[in-house]
Amino acid sequence: MKRYILVIAAFLVSQFAIAQTQDAKMKAFVDALIKKMSLEEKLGQLNLPGAGDIVTGGTPGTDNSQLAQKIKDGKVGGLFNIKGVSKIKYVQQIAMQQSRLKIPLIFGMDVIHGYETVFPIPLGLSCSWDMSLVERSARIAATEASADGICWTFSPMVDIGRDARWGRIAEGSGEDPYLGSQIAKAMVRGYQGNDLSKNNTIMACVKHYALYGAAEAGRDYNTVDMSHQRMYNDYLPPYKAASDAGAGSFMASFNEVDGVPATANKWLLTDVLRKQWGFKGFVVTDYTGINEMVDHGIGDLKTVSARALMAGIDMDMVGESILNYSAKSLKEGKVTMAQIDAACRRILEAKYKLGLFDDPYRYCDENRAKTEIFSDAHRREARSIAAQSFVLLKNQNNVLPLKKGGTIAVVGPLADNRENMPGTWSVAANFQKATSVLAGIKDVAGNNVKIIYAKGSNLDADEQFEERAGMFGKALGRDKRPAADIIAEAVNAANQSDVVVAVLGESAEMSGESSSRSNIEIPSAQKDLLKALLQTGKPLVLVLFTGRPLALKWENDNVPAILNVWFGGSEAGFAVADVLFGDVNPSGKLTTTFPQNVGQVPIYYAHKNTGRPLEEGRWFSKFRSNYLDVSNDPVYPFGYGLSYTGFSYSDIKLSSTSLKGNQTLTASVTVTNSGNRDGKEVVQLYIRDVVGSVTRPVKELKGFQKIDLKAGETKTVSFKITPEDLKFYNYDLKYDWEPGDFVIMIGGNSRDVKSAKVSWVK
Ligand code: BGC
């Protein structure tokens, strides 16, 4: 044992020494380069335009676009959202052949949930609670993107989202800081691997720093205002986890923090990120984030660009104000040369770490682009990962799984559509290659099933709303007939069938950026269809597409089976069919709370108790914290999701009920698969800190294990708990634990838990 420890120690020391030598080499290289650079060239490195008017193709140098000229003049540090290896290679050649210092460009893209092989939207992926799958999806995304010229992705998006109205809740991992932190780390590992200079790893960009998910009223880009307690305990942990995991870059968010836009917030960008957390990479603004500070009302363009730079911004996305105003600001003493050098250094270091100075065409291997993108192997994995993101919300009388026989009516505006399957932010996807639910069902059902399709309704009764919800080539195609006729056709299909599969919900662009909703129900045109279908008395399965938690009270009360499939990616159609027919047993669990109505929002499981909590078993009491017209309960709690089998939990067994100092507590349950199918269960550990120097949440997720259980099988699941798991940021923002009583809870969701008490002294 001792020898083993010595070997490990020696290994760690040698790794540390190697890293130090590498850092020293990088520093020497960058020092030498910076010495040669003019002020304009330094500012050029901080400039990140979009693809602009560049003409890709032909001989580099024959291009007279303004952007090409800027590259030649050394006024561009990188470009983003250009797709295609030959185009990227072409642009890189301009920098390498025609600029004075021949500094390679960095190429970024929003590779958010896959490249051409598209995985579920991040909110869906998080419901797999499977870190190896999350990491794997990011690994495949990196492989494909890097094969096509990209070396930098604007992902992971780790903003905590507790407001279902906010469209970008789709892009994150839900409401919980602990789970969000695990996912943030897994994504960074998946993209960056352990060596950024490999040609199949790409640099992560953690966004949107910080608190973007807490926009008031769920309206995108809106004001954020929160206590430092809440920031540190609930919203900042995933960003910190990503920084700790070695993420190479961060993106500042559009919103303000403490009254100062994040893009100019020195406390956030420098004091917290760099000084407290030790982040060593670079920070890019969000799209025109600097220019928008003029509208925020904190100064003219020259002022806000100086403020951004001095606050800790290193790269300016699209706005070009750092490029255009910094020389003047320098003369006026509003920015310093040291700050410009520091920002320039961080960009050059990122390029160095990516190996671009060794080989600027490292990510431009046309052969890889041909063979590694949207490969059969990647698609197979995407199909399997998608199926694991789906959450079975209801399955009365075991309507599911369906038999591969008889007649099935497949109905709904999202049933026969490919373009919407990848979901929001699938910049690199080829929509025509995605599989619709109808095609997937036909493929998986085999020849013994007769399928009758009918559209049943438009996405929404309002044509203009539907247009807004079908942007970026994702229009569903409007059926101009009267709604009653479209429904009648679907009812007719249902009447001829043994079971109805209704594929309804949101289109892909009903969530994502600038897609906030004040009504979070299924659009009424589709609800009308659903009601008509239910009236046929046929068994019905609602296959629900959504990018946010929806208010599903009526559906939960009336529809026998509901399978929430989010947006599953390019292979969604197959994956939906795999689950519908039981080839895959669903195992996803919600990572956001599903409210009864929009008035309950924001709603999240880890709330505080208040001084007037509602008594157990009641839903209304005068002068208690509740509503007159709706109970406090959600429809589906955080952590919830069913399976085609059932799981039962024993009581909790504790290694001790009174602990001291740094002891370890073991809490175990036995979980039994009580049904007749093999399945997976996510066993969740929650802890309540009963008394604190500040108020504490009623429960907090502190661990989880996803286990496989064969039909009838029982397994013991144990969690090791140490004081580390009890720590939180107190009133003085000191991260520590406090002695006292704790409730340990274990269960299959945040509501249905077994509990046991312990006391823990210092
Ligand atoms: C979004 C970012 C994205 C950027 C670049 C912005 O509008 O907020 O998430 O990375 O555009 O496309």
pLDDT < 50 stretches in the chain: none
Determine the distance separating the centroid of ligand 1 and the alpha carbon of 286, expressed in angstroms. 6
Question: Could you tell me which residues are beta bridge partners of residue 608?
Answer: 697
Q: Are residues 110 and 200 located together in one domain of the fold?
A: yes
Residue of the CA atom closest to atom 2 of ligand 1: 286
Ligand 1 pocket residue status of 168, Cβ below 6 Å: no
Residue 104 falls inside a structural domain:
yes
Among 369, 389, 415, give the residue marking a domain's end. 369
Which amino acids are annotated catalytic?
Answer: 286
pLDDT at 17 (0 to 100):
72
Ligand 1 proximity of 320 Cβ (cutoff 6 Å): no
The residue nearest atom 5 of ligand 1, judged by CA position, is 287
Tokens of 130: 């499977």
Per the structure, the count of domains in the chain is 3
Kindly report, residue by residue over 470-491, the tens digit of the pLDDT: 999 999 999 999 999 999 999 9
Query: By the 8 A CB rule, do 179 and 168 touch?
Result: no
Structural domain contains residue 245: yes
Q: What is the pLDDT of residue 57?
A: 66
Ligand 1 geometric centre to CA of 602 (Å) = 24
What pLDDT shows up at residue 60?
Answer: 63
Which of 81, 110, 250, 315 maximizes ligand 1 atoms within 8 Å of its Cβ, making it the mutation to test the pocket?
110
For residue 282, list its beta bridge partners: 249
> Which residues have a Cβ under 8 Å from the Cβ of 696 and sit 6 or more positions away?
608, 688, 689, 690, 728
Task: Clarify whether residues 571 and 670 are in a common domain.
Answer: no
- Ligand 1: does its nearest atom lie under 6 Å from the Cβ of 368? no
Task: Indicate whether 536 belongs to any domain.
Answer: yes
- Rounded to the nearest angstrom, the distance between the alpha carbon of 287 and the centre of ligand 1 is 6
How far is 586 from 565, CA to CA, in rounded Å? 10
Does a structural domain hold residue 29?
no
Q: Do residues 300 and 407 share a domain? A: no
Residue 734, exposed/middle/buried by CB under 10 A (0-12, 13-18, 19+)? exposed
Which of 520, 532, 498, 519 lies closest to 412, judged by CA? Answer: 532
Q: In terms of domains, do 521 and 571 share one?
A: yes
Q: Is 23 a domain residue?
A: no
Where in the sequence is the domain holding 242, given as residue range(s)? 46-369
SS3 116: coil
- For ligand 1, the distance from its centroid to the CA atom of residue 606, given in whole angstroms, is 29
What is the 113 CA–ligand 1 centroid distance (Å)?
Answer: 14
- Does one domain contain both 343 and 385? no
pLDDT score, position 739: 98
The tokens describing 587, both together, are: 């195992």
Using a 6 Å cutoff on CB, does residue 287 contact ligand 1? yes
Beta 540-545 vs 647-649: how paired, if at all? Answer: unpaired
* Nearest protein CA to atom 8 of ligand 1, as residue: 286
Residues 331 and 396 reside in one and the same domain: no
* Distance of alpha carbon 183 from alpha carbon 614, whole angstroms: 34
Cβ within 8 Å of residue 655, ≥6 positions away: 664, 665, 666, 667
Q: Which two tokens mark 699? A: 């429960």
Both 362 and 424 in one domain: the answer is: no
In a domain, 449, yes or no: yes
- For residue 422, give the CATH number of its domain: 3.40.50.1700
The torsion angles phi and psi of 389, rounded to 5 degrees, stand at -95, -15
Identify the residue whose C-alpha is closest to ligand 1 atom 10. 154
Instruction: Please indicate, yes or no, whether residues 152 and 247 belong to a single structural domain of this protein.
Output: yes
Atom of ligand 1 nearest to the CA of 81: 12
Q: Is the CB of 221 under 6 A from ligand 1?
A: no
Residue 14 lies in a domain: no
**Closest residue (by CA) to atom 12 of ligand 1?**
110
Tell me the CA–centroid distance for residue 327 and ligand 1, in Å: 27
Residue that is last in its domain, among 300, 335, 369 = 369
- 586 and 652 inside one domain: no
Is 292 near ligand 1, meaning CB less than 6 Å away? no
Residue 348 lies in a domain: yes
**Cα 431 to ligand 1 centre (Å):** 20
Q: Tell me: do 320 and 453 sit in the same domain.
A: no
Considering the domain architecture, whether residues 347 and 409 belong to the same structural domain is answered as no
Q: Is 207 in the pocket of ligand 1 (CB under 6 A)?
A: yes
Q: Examine the domain organization and report whether 382 and 311 are in the same domain.
A: no
For the CA of 154, the nearest atom of ligand 1: 10
Q: Are 263 and 308 in contact (CB under 8 A)?
A: yes
Q: Whose CA is nearest to atom 7 of ligand 1?
A: 287
Q: Name the residue of 283, 287, 290, 427 whose CB sits within 8 Å of the most ligand 1 atoms, as the mutation to test its pocket.
A: 287
pLDDT at 4: 65
Report pLDDT for 52: 76
The CB of 250 under 6 Å from ligand 1? The reply is no
Convert the pLDDT of each residue in 218-237 to its tens digit. 999 999 999 999 999 999 99
- Mutate which of 109, 286, 471, 472 for ligand 1? The one with the most ligand atoms within 8 Å of its CB, which is 286
Among the candidates 335, 369, 403, a domain finishes at 369
Residue 726, domain CATH: 2.60.40.10
Give the CATH number for residue 186: 3.20.20.300
Is residue 410 a contact partner of residue 451, using CB atoms and an 8 Å limit?
A: yes
